[in-house]
Amino acid sequence: MVVIKETVPALREIYGKSFISDVEKMSDVIGFSIEKENDEFRVEFNPDRPDLFSFSLLKRSIDIYQGKKEWQPIRVGEGTSDFNIENDVRSLRPYAIGFHCKGPRIGDHYRELIDYQEKLHLSIGKDRSKVSIGIHDERYLKFPLKYSSRKSGETRFTTYDKTLTASALDILKKHPKGVEYAHLIPSKDLVPIIEDSEHRVLSMPPVVNGSTTVVSEDTSAFFIDITGTDMRALKDAFFLLSYYFNSLDFEITESNIEDIRKFLNMDGREISVSMNEIKRILGQEIGIDECVTLLQKMGYGVRVEKVRIVAVVPGNRIDVMGPVDVIEDVAKAFGYGNLELHMPDMDIIGAEAAGNQLASNIRNIMTGLGYQEIMTYVVTTQENYRLAEYKGAVHIRNPKSLEFSMVRDRLYLGVLDFLRLNKRRNLPQAVFELGEIIIDAEQQTNLCVARIGSRSAFSDMKQVLDAIMTRTSLGEYIIRPTDHENFVNGRTGEIITMGQCIGYVGEIHPETIEQFELKNPVAMIEMNLSAVSSLLR
C-alpha cells in the first residue's frame, strides 16, 4: 500500500476548506482508505494507482469527478534536442528521456514533488532498477546536456546534499545512496553520468544527483531526466510526472525529441467496449448516455460508435489495460451499492475440495491432541535460513525488506522462528502449521508439528504420527532412518507409506536449537499433505 499524508490545516489552506470532505467522498468511489489522527490526514492507496499518489493529483481527479474540469491530453510543446544520449552508456543503463517543465514557483508543493518522485521510484521504478528520476532546477543548467559513461575513478562531483565531494567510485562506496544503489550499476569501472555543456555532473543515475541543480521552493523551471532499463516503465514515468506538473499549471516541453515522440500518441489510447459486455459483467443494463457521463467523471475522454463506447485513456492511467478495467470504472462511478443483486445461475452444487477435507481432518486431529495452530509467512526472512545454515529456497531479487526476501520451501524453519519469538512462554509448547511452500516452482501444502520442552523427544512425534496415519486412513507406515539437515543423526527418519516418502520426523540438532536461541529440546514432523492427498484418492 502507498500512503500520502499532510496536516489538515495545510491541505485546507492549499486546496480549500471542502477538500477533506471531498476526499472522504471520493474514497467511496475509487476505494482507498483514510486515517485522521490529531491534525494529520493520511490516505492509503492500492499500488496500482500511481496517478493518485499526491494530493495535487487527487484534487485534479476530484475536480474532474465533480464536473469542474474535464480531461484533456497533455500538450507537450516542441523543443530541441538538448539532451543527447551517447551509445557508450547503453550497456550500463540503456534508456533515457528528458523534458522541461515551466510554471509558477513550486512553493508549498516542493515536499510533495520529492515525495511523489520517491513513490514512483518504489512502485513503477522497482526501487530504481527499472526507472530512476532526476529533478533539476533549470536555472543552473547550461545546455545541451549529455548522458554518457565515464570512468568511475576519474569522475568527481559533489553530491546533492553536499556531504561528499569525491570520485564516483568513492561516492558509491561511502555515500548512503551510493551504498544502497551501487548494485544497479553493472560495471565497477564505468558509471552513467549526466553532465551539462560546462562538464558539470548533474546526476549519476540511478544513484544520486549532484549539487549543481538542487531544486528548492523557489524553483519554477525544472528539467527532468528519466533513465532506466525498461522503455515501457520510462513511458509510464513520463506520463505520471507530466500529469503531475500539469495539475500545477506547468507547461511541458520535450527535450530529446526522437525518444519522446515514440510514445506521445499513447496519451489518449483508445479502448472499445460494447454495451452488451458492460451489461454482462455488471449484471444490469446502464444506458449508453449514462455510461458516457460516468466515464467522463472518472477522467476519460469518450465517444460513441453505434452500440459501442470508445474510452480515450489518459496516459497516466497505467492501470487501465483493457475493456474490463474501463467497465470497472463505470461500476465505481455508478456505485457498487447501486448495482442490482442477482443470484448466480449455477448448475452445480459446491463441495469441499479433497485437499481441504484432508486439512480440516488434520486440524481436528491436532487440536484434539492439544496442539495449537500457528501461521507463518510464505515469503519469509533469509535470516532463518542463515541460522539453519541451509541454502535452499528462492531468493527474491531486490526485496523491499530483508524480512520478506525468501520464498519458503519448508515449514520447520518458520516454526523454529516462532518458538524463538515465544521462548519466554511456559513450556512445554506444542504447535502445528498447515501452510504452502514452493519447491521447483511447484506449490504444495505441508504440515509441520513441533513440540518444545525439557523432555520433548522422538517418541512424542511418533504418537502424533500414529494418530494422523490412523485417522486419515493411510494405515500402516514405516520410519526409515535417514540423515536430514538440522536434525539429529540416528533420531531422524523418513515417513514411508504405500511405498512413498511423505515426510520426515525427528529431533532438532542441538546446534540448530542454539542458533535459534532456544534452550530446550525440540521434536518435529514435516509432512507433504499434497502427496498424502493424492494417495487417498
* Cell representation of residue 66: 465533480
- Average pLDDT, stretch 225-231? 93
- Confirm if 521 and 530 have CB atoms less than 8 A apart: no
Whole-number average pLDDT of the chain: 90
Q: For 406-463, how does the pLDDT look when each residue is reduced to its tens digit (9 = 90+)? A: 788 889 888 998 998 888 888 889 999 998 988 887 888 999 999 999 887 888 899 9
Q: Peptide bond preceding 323: is omega within 30 degrees of 0, i.e. cis?
A: no
Q: Looking at domain 269-314+322-335, which of 3.30.56.10, 3.40.50.150, 3.10.250.10, 3.30.1490.150 is its CATH number?
A: 3.30.56.10
Nine-digit cell at 6? Answer: 499532510
| Partners of 496 in beta bridges | 478, 501
Partners of 135 in the β-ladder: 224
Position 388 scores a pLDDT of 67
Taking the C-alpha atoms of residue 251 and residue 106, their distance in angstroms, rounded to an integer, is 13
pLDDT at 529 over 70: yes
Is the pLDDT confidence value at 163 over 70? yes
- pLDDT tens across 20-36, in order? 999 999 999 999 999 98
Domain boundaries of the chain, sorted by first residue: 2-65, 76-265, 269-314+322-335, 354-536
Is the pLDDT at 332 greater than 90? The verdict is yes
Q: Is the pLDDT of residue 537 over 90?
A: no
Taking domain 76-265, whether its CATH number is 3.50.40.10 is answered by yes
User: Which pLDDT value is given to residue 317?
Assistant: 94
Helices (H) and strands (E) in the chain, counts: 17, 28
- Confidence at residue 390, expressed as pLDDT on a 0 to 100 scale: 67
The mean per-residue pLDDT over the stretch 222-226 comes to 96
Task: Summarize the confidence of residues 85-112 as an average pLDDT.
Answer: 94
CA 35 to chain centre: 21
The side-by-side arrangement of strands in the sheet containing 40-45 is 2-7, 40-45, 33-37
pTM above 0.75, yes or no: no
pLDDT cut 90: percent of the chain above it: 63
Q: Which pLDDT score is estimated for 354?
A: 63
| pLDDT tens, residue by residue, 344-387 | 777 777 777 666 788 888 899 999 999 999 988 888 777 777 77
CATH code: domain 354-536 is 3.30.930.10
| pLDDT band at residue 154 using 50, 70 and 90 as cut-offs | very high
Rounded average pLDDT over 233-262: 89
Q: For the chain, give the number of residues.
A: 537
Residue 505 corresponds to which amino acid? V
User: Cell for 490?
Assistant: 540416528
Domain 2-65 has CATH 3.30.56.10: yes
Whether residue 400 has pLDDT greater than 80? no
Helix axes 19-30, 8-15, angle to 10 degrees: 100
291: pLDDT confidence band, cut at 50, 70 and 90? very high
Fold match, 2-65 / 354-536: no
Q: Which cell goes with 186?
A: 553493472
In DSSP terms, 209 is beta-bridged to 203
Is the predicted pLDDT of residue 91 greater than 70, yes or no?
yes
Cβ(395)–Cβ(523) below 8 Å: no
Q: Which three cell numbers stand for residue 267?
A: 496519451
Contact 447, 362 (CB under 8 A): yes
